[in-house]
Chains A and B, each alone.
Chain A
Amino acid sequence: MKNINILLAGVGGQGVLLASQILTRVAMAAGLDVKQSEVHGMSQRGGSVTSHVRFGDKIYSPTVDDGTADFLLGFERLETLRNAHCVAPDGKILYNTMRINPSTVASGEASYPEGIEANIKKYAADVIAVDGLGLAERVGNVRAANTVLVGAISSFLPFPETLWEAQLQEILPAKLVELNLRALELGRQAVAG
């Protein structure tokens, strides 16, 4: 199969790394080669976070070059636009419409940009906005927005639903499994049709 490149972008604390972990483990369980790269360190609390995921028959670089992401999975509106140029010409942007103010906006030195949604649309023919926060609230935990997004992207990847569910069950503590399975399903439904 052709290698698949996914770039995840969001804000520190949103669970970008957990989402990356689910993606890589599903790819491994499906028998593919897989690499993932992120940068953590300067305790990214409230800072921008990106994570690169690649899988296929043979993967060399763990990073996704600008202009080659088959999928940009955005966890927050502004961070999606910040990374929108990374998407390939025939790539897809799936993003959470949620807004989180950067510290520069919180301190009043900068303002949160208007018209982000229209700007994101300029970068790809195929753009899907998901109300990740709203759907996570529906399952009863705002922190499950990352799983909603994983559910959304899972609809476009060549792996059976059972594989996603099995990985969630393996990674998460028992008490969170049921809630996240519902979040995964809501994510799938959000992009159906």
Chain B
Amino acid sequence: MPERAILSGNEAIARGAYEAGVVLASAYPGTPSTEILENVSKYKDIYSEWSPNEKVAMEVGVGSSIAGARTLVAMKHVGVNVAADALFTFSYTGVGGGLVLVSADDPAMHSSQNEQDNRNYGKFAKIPVVEPSDSQEAKEFVGLALEISEEFDTPVLFRTTTRVSHSKSLVSFAERRVAEKKPELVKDMPKYTMLPAFGRRKHPLVEERIEKLKAYAESSPLNRIEMADTKIGVVTNGITYQYVKDALPEASVLKLGMTYPLPTKLIKDFAAQVDQLYVIEELDPFFEEQIRLMGVDVAHGKDLFSLCGEFSPQLIREKVVESSLTLQDVAEGLPARPPAFCPGCSHRGIFTILKKLKVFVSGDIGCYTLGALPPIQALHSCVCMGASIGMAHGMSHVIETGDDLTQKTVAVIGDSTFFHSGMTGLLNSVYNKGISVVMILDNRTTGMTGGQENPGTGKTLSGEDAISADIPAMARAFGIQEVVAVDPYNLEEVEDTLRAELANPQLSVIVVEAPCVLRYRISKPVLKVDPEKCTGCKRCLQVSCNALSLIEEDDNSYVEIDPNLCVGCTVCAQVCKFDAIS
């Protein structure tokens, strides 16, 4: 074992779980949380799994905790919305073995559809919230959070943000400590069976628990005061603490590592020692509102700082001490470089045809969401995991049927997202006589998060052989009559099938079975453009492939294919009207 290493926050959380004797870890992949379970799975002493969605991951964790095992469950911030049902009543039952639920929030929405501040979940579910500010703390706080969980009989919400999860810093290691008591099932009905009668007994205990946690917060090692100059005192947390230390090296700081419930006395004592109290927190005024309710005079908080996005040392300097740094102008008018479908991606041909047909595409969450970006721009809505099918169903029920393709809906959903929460939407749609076309884009991986296993891939997180769920058979079992397969690399077949199914007055499922070219490293012979035949019409460029580029010379322009990038999928060749690509 090395003594120390440079670890990301996520790697450090995995290490923390190992050192604290965690026995089971479950998760659904989601940026910025994904690497937690990927790294936990390297420790053979911990049973780890990808569950099909966050609610199941949470339920698996609850079971493990009730059986007396220390447990870690991980997900991104919006994943907690899915898991909330299990979490909120688990707050009432309390734990057996300690349970930590990691919520990786994403201020600035680097890879998310919203920017919700999950500290609110602590208050809402009446459970403590713990937040590290670097990788060393990320590792240590896992152990502390498990101790709090067991001591106060509560699940603990362990919140990170992208800059904690994905930043690397130095971490020192320790040995694994395992509980002497082996997991054991103890039948304690009043504790774990939340009938109304038992639930009513529990609620007052939950309120008492929060009071006890408040008392603990006053002297918890998670919270600390760093006194310096007393002109300015800052209450802060997480990565923002690091920004404050850089931006305001003279200021006194109250660093909250336990961000719910808050230590009233500690905050009042700190406020009394400084001339001006600042509350600097990304996203919601979560501390500020509570501190004002304590009757403490807050000089500045959200009057200066935005409710949106990430902070930086520079931003804090500007707001608090008016920076004198003159910044150079950002270079203007540069072409954007958004991510795009990989060369050879099986989604490219599908979206090329969806664009051509001008249908309303009800989108979902995955790599195929990139179908919304220029030049393709053929994905017209995206709300949350699994929503595409239900949304298309709702749309089609309020639109009068006719032959106008612009008024017809096609739902697109990936394999992992279908297993996550698309299955129920599909069952609803056949049960309630839906008429949409549902395309299940099965590339046998959880792509956008980096290519994780799922119930369709035939492998578990730990690399063991597993079932490979049969999507067409599932659709038929739901009672769907019309289940067809298409080859996404045959554009004519895709178009004919889509046209036929759009004309079909009942729900149909089109399954696209084509493995992810990136993950499975699939390539065919590279294509070439015949410059004699190419007219420079740019039609092939509309499929948005980074292997293609336009060469412009004097009065002649033609397309070139980069042999280092092309994997020979032939989509560009099929849209060429001049037979110039082969």
Query: Which residues in A have some Cβ–Cβ distance to B below 8 Å?
Result: 11-12, 24-25, 28, 33-48, 59-63, 65-68, 78-79, 81-82, 84-85, 87, 101-113, 119, 123, 142
Contacts of B367 in A (CB 8 A): 43
Min distance, Cβ A81 to any Cβ of chain B, angstroms = 5
The answer to whether B337 and A46 touch across the interface, beta carbons within 8 angstroms, is: yes
A112/B167 contact (C-beta < 8 A), A45-B518, A61-B313, A63-B312 known: no
Contacts of B331 in A (CB 8 A): 81-82, 84-85, 119
Contacts of A82 in B (CB 8 A): 331, 334, 337
**Sample of 15 more A-B contacts, CB < 8 Å, known A24-B6, A43-B518:** A33-B169, A35-B168, A38-B166, A41-B111, A41-B448, A43-B367, A43-B450, A47-B339, A63-B312, A84-B328, A85-B330, A87-B328, A102-B337, A103-B546, A113-B333
Nearest opposing residue in chain B for A105, CB measure: B335
The answer to whether A104 and B242 touch across the interface, beta carbons within 8 angstroms, is: no
Cα–Cα distance between A111 and B128 once the two chains are bound (Å): 52
Cα–Cα distance between A81 and B239 once the two chains are bound (Å): 28
Cα–Cα distance between A154 and B237 once the two chains are bound (Å): 35
Contacts of A142 in B (CB 8 A): 564
A25/B6 contact (C-beta < 8 A), A66-B327, A81-B331, A107-B542 known: yes
Q: Mark B316-350, 1 if CB is under 8 A from A, else 0.
A: 00000000011111110111111111100000000
Min distance, Cβ A163 to any Cβ of chain B, angstroms = 15
The answer to whether A42 and B448 touch across the interface, beta carbons within 8 angstroms, is: yes
Q: Mark B282-324, 1 if CB is under 8 A from A, else 0.
A: 0000000000000000000000000000001110000000000
How many B residues are at the interface, by size bracket? Answer: 35 or more
The answer to whether B538 and A108 touch across the interface, beta carbons within 8 angstroms, is: yes
| B136-179 residues at the A interface, CB under 8 angstroms | 162-163, 166-170
The answer to whether B314 and A103 touch across the interface, beta carbons within 8 angstroms, is: no
Contacts of B98 in A (CB 8 A): none
A107/B6 contact (C-beta < 8 A), A45-B340, A45-B518, A62-B169 known: no
Cα–Cα distance between A65 and B247 once the two chains are bound (Å): 10
Closest 7 CB pairs of A and B: A41-B111, A41-B31, A110-B335, A47-B339, A102-B337, A62-B167, A37-B167
Cα–Cα distance between A141 and B330 once the two chains are bound (Å): 34
A106/B549 contact (C-beta < 8 A), A46-B339, A63-B312 known: yes
Min distance, Cβ A25 to any Cβ of chain B, angstroms = 7
Cα–Cα distance between A78 and B242 once the two chains are bound (Å): 31
Cα–Cα distance between A108 and B559 once the two chains are bound (Å): 10
The answer to whether A111 and B339 touch across the interface, beta carbons within 8 angstroms, is: no
Contacts of B162 in A (CB 8 A): 39, 41
- A selection of 9 A-B contacts at a CB cut-off of 8 Å is A24-B6, A34-B169, A35-B134, A39-B110, A42-B31, A42-B110, A43-B339, A67-B325, A103-B373
Q: Is the interface of A mostly helix, strand, loop or mixed?
A: loop
The answer to whether B111 and A101 touch across the interface, beta carbons within 8 angstroms, is: no
Tell which of B6, B245, B336, B448 touches A102, judged by Cβ atoms closer than 8 Å.
B336
| B3-52 residues at the A interface, CB under 8 angstroms | 6, 31-32
The answer to whether B342 and A45 touch across the interface, beta carbons within 8 angstroms, is: yes
A35/B167 contact (C-beta < 8 A), A42-B448, A105-B549 known: yes
Contacts of B32 in A (CB 8 A): 41
Contacts of A42 in B (CB 8 A): 31, 110-111, 339, 448
Cα–Cα distance between A7 and B16 once the two chains are bound (Å): 29
Contacts of B542 in A (CB 8 A): 107
Tell which of B168, B328, B335, B544 touches A24, judged by Cβ atoms closer than 8 Å.
B168
User: Is the C-beta of B91 less than 8 angstroms from some C-beta in chain A?
Assistant: no
Min distance, Cβ A9 to any Cβ of chain B, angstroms = 11
Contacts of B538 in A (CB 8 A): 107-108
Min distance, Cβ A13 to any Cβ of chain B, angstroms = 9
User: Is the C-beta of B449 less than 8 angstroms from some C-beta in chain A?
Assistant: yes
